[in-house]
Amino acid sequence: MTEKATPAKKTTRSAPKSAPNSAIGSTPELEDQVNSINTANSQSEVADSQDIADVDKDSLTQMLQAAMGPSDPTHRCGTVAIVGKPNVGKSTLLNALVGQKISITSKKAQTTRHRITGIRTEGSSQFIFVDTPGFQTRHSNALNRSLNKTVVGAVSGVDLILFVVQSGSFSVADAKVLALLGQHTPIILIANKLDMIHRRGELAPWLQDMQKKGEFIETVPMSAKNSKDVERLLAVCSKYLPHQAWWYNEDELTDRSEKFLASEIIREKLFRLTGDELPYTSTVIIDKFTEEPGKTVARMVRIAATIVVERDGHKAMVIGENGDRLKRIGSEARQELENLMGAKVFLEIWVKVRSGWADDEARVRSFGYE
């Protein structure tokens, strides 16, 4: 039996973002670079440099082209970070943009714990979306410090940022997230949950005021639940992606493994079925993930998972009377995993108490957080 935790493979056609629009060919600039390399090699006193000096100019040209990466004027491909404070609909937006559920959602803040990549290939453009945890400003334990580190890391080096706020609202927490984004990456303001605004005319003054909050290249009022709004947002984002070859195959949806998605789906059911009773510090660990041929089905997956809570009272809450709540968590998670994986799934779930784990740096890392 083998563990199936291999992430989607990136194709070898990835290109750097430093020169996305430059066509690579035999140009005067490229010739100058080749000549410079040859001159440097001939003047070097290092013995090993003689090997490079003997390489002909055509070979060096090919080496430079490979290092600079391919440019493709017919395709666009780039990374788009989705950021915002907790509970503004970032994960719902990611799932809508990708066209399939890859990030869990819940009314509980801080549902997303990891940087999750979703891939959407539409027409000649490939979007690589990155969903991030909501930036936490209220509590400063080891878990939240790890989550905030993930947010800051996700926005560095991307091509475009979607800054998500709730339509008609801009709080101190929103402002703190916006301050993290800097001035070097284009930012699109996403006024999400437009369906919750009953008097659309009242939104205009708020939108005008938002333009004073930051330098946004576009503003998109929308609802992530509206497919037409999602398609409109994709068209807007496409304009800001660099011209380069796609990084992933056209049918790939995420770079996360099935093992990771299993833990996320179980955690989603945990939060949905416990509501506000259970602290958000509870987490899910996958202890075993194995795949084997099925006798009556093409594929069979066995999963053993542990729900980790901080107190005995929380454990009882998760298990429920006569184990009913834990059974329901397992049943709903198993059904969704079977649909996602196209396999028969056998799921075991245990509940364990690990007091104070969310404020223990070592234990936070051991549970898979950065």
Domain spans of the chain, in order of start: 11-70, 76-238, 258-366
Which of 47 and 13 is assigned the larger pLDDT?
47
pLDDT of amino acid 340: 86
Q: Given pLDDT bands bounded at 50, 70 and 90, which one contains residue 366?
A: very low
Secondary element (H or E) of residue 231: helix 227-238
- State how far the Cα of 332 lies from the Cα of 339, in Å rounded to an integer: 11
Amino acid at 363: R
Mean pLDDT to the nearest integer, 327-340:
94
Name which of 150, 145, 216 is nearest 186 in CA terms.
Answer: 216
* Degrees to nearest 5, angle at CA 93 with 16 and 81: 25
Which of 311 and 226 is assigned the larger pLDDT?
226
Highest mean pLDDT among 36-40, 106-110, 181-185, 362-366: 181-185
- State how far the Cα of 30 lies from the Cα of 153, in Å rounded to an integer: 33
Mean pLDDT to the nearest integer, 219-245:
96
Q: pTM for the full model?
A: 0.62
- State how far the Cα of 122 lies from the Cα of 75, in Å rounded to an integer: 10
Which of 40 and 301 is assigned the larger pLDDT?
301
Name which of 227, 306, 293, 224 is nearest 266 in CA terms.
Answer: 306
CATH architecture of 258-366: 2-Layer Sandwich (3.30)
Percentage of residues in the chain having pLDDT higher than 90: 38
Backbone angles phi, psi at 343, to 5 degrees: -145, 160
pLDDT tens column, 46-92: 444 444 444 454 554 454 444 444 556 789 999 899 998 888 988 89
SS3 assignment, position 187: strand
Q: Given pLDDT bands bounded at 50, 70 and 90, which one contains residue 357?
A: low
CB 150 within 8 A of CB 112: no
Residues 6+ apart with CB under 8 A from 136: 86, 110, 144, 147, 148
CB 122 within 8 A of CB 136: no
pLDDT of amino acid 279: 60
Q: Determine which of 30-39, 112-121, 306-315, 340-349 has the lowest per-residue pLDDT on average.
A: 30-39
Looking at the DSSP bridge assignments, the partners of residue 353 are 309
Q: Determine which of 3-7, 163-167, 186-190, 308-312 has the lowest per-residue pLDDT on average.
A: 3-7
Give the homologous superfamily in CATH for domain 76-238.
P-loop containing nucleotide triphosphate hydrolases (3.40.50.300)
Q: How many helices (H) and strands (E) does the chain have?
A: 12, 9
| pLDDT reading at 138 higher than 60 | no
Query: In Å, how far are 133, 138, 210, 273 from 267, measured between CA atoms?
Result: 14, 22, 35, 10
pLDDT tens column, 233-292: 999 999 999 999 999 889 888 878 889 889 989 988 998 898 777 666 678 989 999 998
Residues 6+ apart with CB under 8 A from 78: 17, 20, 126, 127, 128, 158, 159, 160, 240, 241, 242, 244
Which token pair is 42?
């001939």
